[in-house]
Amino acid sequence: MLNDPGRLFDRGAPGRAFWNPDAQTASEETLAGLRTDGIAGEWARVWEHPIPFYRDRYAAAGFGPGEVPGLDDVPVTTKADLRADEAANPPLGAHRAIGLDEAVRVGRSTGTTGGRPVYVLMGRRDLQTAIELQARAVWACGVRPGDRFAHSWPFGLYVSSGTSAFWYAKTGVLELPLGPPDSPETAAEHVRIWDEFRPRGLMVTGTQLDTYVRAAERIGLDLAEILAGTTVVLFDLVYQFEAPRKRVEERFGIRVRNMSGASDIPGFGCADCDHHTGVHVPGDHAVVQVCDPRTGRSLPPGERGHLVVTTFGMDAFFLRYDLEDVAVLEDGPCPCGQTGQRFRVLGRSADQVRVDGRAVLPVDVQLALDAHGAPEFRLLGAGGPETSRLVVRLECEGRHERFAEILSADLGVPVDVDPVPSGTFPRSSFKPRRVDVSPQGAG
């Protein structure tokens, strides 16, 4: 059923392609109706609930509780806006649609986007929706009741750590929540657990996978043999693209899947499919836009802009929430049969380096380096003023002139390579950030 999260242990039929076929293959007419009604309902909540932060924000822009404006006309909201609201109205701000007495789960953003982490309060509808949407994503990975799924995500207040047990239980899958491989000993123990349990699915970041490769070698286990035939959700933007994805699939005998989402938004984790045409948006609960960050207005498919998300049918309120991720919308139907919107995230806007009118992201450099050994690197000058040359600090052992030529030809901008020894850059135990944000790197 559409917009019906259902009961916790309602397992899907193992033979069907989609967890919720009614929702995931709904007609565009049906999805358009859900969007229209859902956005109208969210707009009414602002004034009737009310939600003071948004009421005052929209009133200042000339809106009222009458006719629902078009999405492009609604002001976007960023995490910085929410932080400022929380500073002005401590501790939780005036932007929340539910209070502590109505929340059933609490999480917190990672803080990797800069600034103080933001708390995420989840009401009952948020939790139910998150379970449903993530069950769809787990199912899309090919795991079925009776299978095992291992992941290396953090615990504590990290948002998904407070809900993941529910969605694995809902799909009938045994969860192996191991946490990040934050030491060689921990990584080796994880590999041993994989060897013993032989999970059908796995979720790791690209740097975590590299850590596990080294750990398996140290303890004499064959990681490719352990992982052969599994589906690996590999959180590294470069694996959205065919050449890097095929390289790692052939190396380990795995199927790679991609996911994108936002820890701030309950359940907003979008998975791709066998056809890798972008990640699929749950159109019965969300609408996405890719917008020009200067004007806030929608861009056509294929053009880079900020990913802006609107949700409906939940307790949480997100109307034109700018994630400040650089993304592109994908166009046309997907051969898998899922309907609705699709997109690809290419990186954080704060990680862009502007060179001669062009914006270069770490994933652009990763793609250029992939066929040349994929050495580790850091971009200098991210988030700073426009420059005439891109500076890349690269683990390349003296071949910097050749790498400068490769990067310059591929990226279309002048490139200077600052060579450093292999192993210079720390390997992240979770999500890496390939920009140098130190004072030395900014200069």
CB 295 within 8 A of CB 286: no
Range of the domain at 366: 352-442
- pLDDT (0 to 100) of residue 439: 46
**Residue 171 resides in a domain:** yes
Q: What is the DSSP string of 329-369?
A: E--S--TT---S-EEEEEEEGGG-EEETTEEE-HHHHHHHH
What is the reported pTM? 0.93
- Do both 275 and 363 map to the same domain? no
- Do both 268 and 417 map to the same domain? no
- pLDDT (0 to 100) of residue 189: 98
- Do both 336 and 370 map to the same domain? no
The kind and range of the H/E element at 148 are strand 148-151
Q: Please give the Cα distance from 132 to 376 (Å, whole number).
A: 37
- Do both 256 and 387 map to the same domain? no
Q: Is 24 exposed, middle or buried (0-12, 13-18, 19+ CB in 10 A)?
A: buried
Q: Please give the Cα distance from 174 to 149 (Å, whole number).
A: 6
Q: Please give the Cα distance from 373 to 388 (Å, whole number).
A: 27
Pairing of strands 269-271, 353-355: unpaired
CB 327 within 8 A of CB 344: yes
**Residue 430 resides in a domain:** yes
The DSSP 8-state label assigned to residue 186 in this structure reads: H
- pLDDT (0 to 100) of residue 110: 66
- Do both 272 and 155 map to the same domain? yes
CATH code where residue 372 lies = 3.30.300.30
- Do both 336 and 401 map to the same domain? no
Burial profile 364-401: b = 16 or more Cβ within 10 angstroms, e = fewer = bbbbbbeeeebbbbbbbbbeeeeeeebbbbbbbeeebe
CB 419 within 8 A of CB 389: no
- pLDDT (0 to 100) of residue 10: 59
Q: Please give the Cα distance from 283 to 164 (Å, whole number).
A: 21
- pLDDT (0 to 100) of residue 180: 94
- Do both 121 and 217 map to the same domain? yes
Q: Please give the Cα distance from 439 to 264 (Å, whole number).
A: 29
- Do both 254 and 357 map to the same domain? no
**Residue 428 resides in a domain:** yes
Q: What are phi and psi of 203, to 5 degrees?
A: -130, 115
- Do both 55 and 184 map to the same domain? yes
- pLDDT (0 to 100) of residue 5: 52
Q: Please give the Cα distance from 198 to 32 (Å, whole number).
A: 42
CB 432 within 8 A of CB 207: yes
- Do both 146 and 227 map to the same domain? yes
Domains of the chain: total: 2
- Do both 183 and 46 map to the same domain? yes
**Residue 100 resides in a domain:** yes
| Side-chain-facing half-sphere of 324: CA atoms under 13 Å | 15
* Mean pLDDT for back-to-back runs of 10 residues, the chain (443 residues): 54 80 97 97 97 98 95 97 95 95 88 72 94 93 94 85 85 95 97 98 94 97 97 94 96 96 90 96 98 97 98 97 98 96 97 94 96 93 92 90 96 96 86 73 46
Instruction: Indicate the residue among 309, 340, 371 that finishes a domain.
Output: 340
- pLDDT (0 to 100) of residue 273: 95
Q: What is the DSSP string of 69-118?
A: PPGGGSPPB-HHHHHHHHHHSTTT-S--SS-GGG-SEEEE--STTSSS--
**Residue 321 resides in a domain:** no
- Do both 227 and 368 map to the same domain? no
CATH code where residue 10 lies = 3.40.50.12780
- pLDDT (0 to 100) of residue 12: 60
